[in-house]
Amino acid sequence: MILLIWYVPMAKLTLSVVDRVVSRAKRYAKQQGVSVSQMVEAYLDAVAEPAPATSPDAPILRALRGSLKKASVEAYKRHLESKYQ
């Protein structure tokens, strides 16, 4: 049996956090079976990830795109006025 151990260099990070928040974070981490460090690392990893360049639109949005290019705001206002008289 071969056991491989990977060493991942870790940096230390000092944060200033309100005591009440630290207590709640520790309690939550214990309930989840993780450490506060793991929670902070996961959060930082998530927010530091660059946003995708484009997000795929839902098919209904693709179908509607451009349908209001010739729409008139004034005509819509007149329609609403006549509808709700």
* pTM given for the model: 0.52
Integer-rounded Cα radius of gyration of the chain = 26
Quick check: 15 pLDDT over 90? Answer: yes
- Assess contact for 36 and 29: CB atoms under 8 A: yes
Average pLDDT for residues 62-76, to the nearest whole number?
80
Q: Spell out the domain ranges in the chain.
A: 18-49
CA–CA dist 42, 25 (Å, integer):
14
CA–CA dist 16, 14 (Å, integer):
7
DSSP structural state of residue 49? S
Question: Which pLDDT score, from 0 to 100, does residue 55 have?
Answer: 63
In this predicted model, what pLDDT tens digit does every residue of 19-64 receive, in sequence order? 999 999 999 999 999 999 999 999 999 888 877 766 677 787 777 7
